Structure 1
Amino acid sequence: MDYRQSFSVSAVGMSIERARVDVAALNLANANTAQSADGNGFRPMRVVARSLMAPTAFSTLMNESLATGQGVNAAPQFSMEPINASPRLVYEPGHPMANEKGFVAYPGVDTATETVTMMSAMRAYEANVAALNTSKTMALKALDIGGGN
């Protein structure tokens, strides 16, 4: 088995989870940024991961991988896309960016959702690090066993 494939799976997972943490932090940092009266300003973002493979049964993937002797290369790609969330209106008549009714538009960031997203992404990142370390340990043990002649 090629141990580099397990390394690359963990690396892809870590890069996606890091992007999720970065986007959640960006959304939280801009949650209280006032938008101009015409609605221009910060738009909340999200990370969307897409698989490059068609959905296939796990057993089919395993059989193909064993038959060819090569792993399955299915690294997902991800992108950061804006969310179409309606702005949050707060009544602040003295604010310089208030509209004619006295409301200021802030980005439609749900702080609770962003906090949960950040926490789950951090846990998933930690799980990928643990999987990478386990693969590394197994590869080193295999080298120790094979090099003991």
Structure 2
Amino acid sequence: MNIAGSGLSMHQTWLDTLSYNISNVNTARATSGSAFQAQYAIAQSAAGPEGGEGVRVSGIALGDAQGRMVYQPDHPLADANGYIRMPDIDLGSQMSQLIMAQRGFQAQASVLRNAQDVYSSALSIGKQS
């Protein structure tokens, strides 16, 4: 149950970073500043004294601060040449990762539910005597 719980926690962090990135995919900034930086959860195995103990988030990596320059002369943040700075986020990739993170979260939740059912059944065997 600890391993499944650690998986739930990791997948929740992954889902949080993906939703943050997707919600900011169209965040424009002036060219004098840095672009919105995407967040990427870094997962790492959490080994205990007896072997595998699940997974943990070891940190959050940030995307490219340079972003990409987009020509939009009518945008209020456009510079003298008509450019704004947009994040370098691939929405298709973020959506694909979102599906993977959701499925992983669902799988970990299912493992926890099944383990709880098995433990409840085992406890009820002792009560029937």
TM over 0.5: yes
- TM-score tier (shorter): 0.7 to 0.9
Instruction: Find out whether 1:97 has 2:77 as its counterpart.
Output: yes
Map of 1:68 onto structure 2: none
- 1:47 partner letter: A
Q: Give the structure-2-normalised TM-score.
A: 0.86
Amino acid at match of 2:78: A
- Greater CA drift, 12-21 or 81-90: 81-90
8 Å Cα contact 2:4-2:54 kept in structure 1: no
Displacement of 1:40: 2.2
Gaps of 5+ in 1: 1-5, 55-63, 66-71
2:18 paired with 1:24: yes
Deviation string 1:65-100 (CA, Å, 9 cap, x unpaired) is: 5xxxxxx46243212221237512221112222233
Residue 116 of structure 1: how far off its partner (Å): 0.8
Tell me the SS of whatever aligns to 2:53. Answer: coil
**Which of 1 and 2 has higher RCO (CA within 8 Å, sep 6+)?**
1
TM-score for both structures, normalised by structure 1: 0.76
What's the counterpart of residue 88 of structure 2? 108
Count of matched residue pairs:
128
Structure 1 or 2: larger strand share? 2
Cα distance between partner residues in 2 of 1:30 and 1:22: 12
Matched, 1:84 2:64: yes
For residue 135 of structure 1, the aligned residue among 108, 112, 115 is 115
Would you say 1:119 and 2:99 are equivalent positions? yes
Radius of gyration: which is bigger? 1
Instruction: Give, as a single letter, the amino acid of the residue that structure 2 aligns with 1:128.
Output: Q
* Structure 1 pair 85–40 and aligned structure 2 pair: CA distance change class (3 A): closer
Let me know the Cα RMSD of the aligned residues.
2.1
CA change 1:15–1:52 in 2 (3 A) is: closer
Cα displacement string for residues 37-62 of structure 1 (whole angstroms, at most 9, x for unaligned residues): 223242111100112439xxxxxxxx
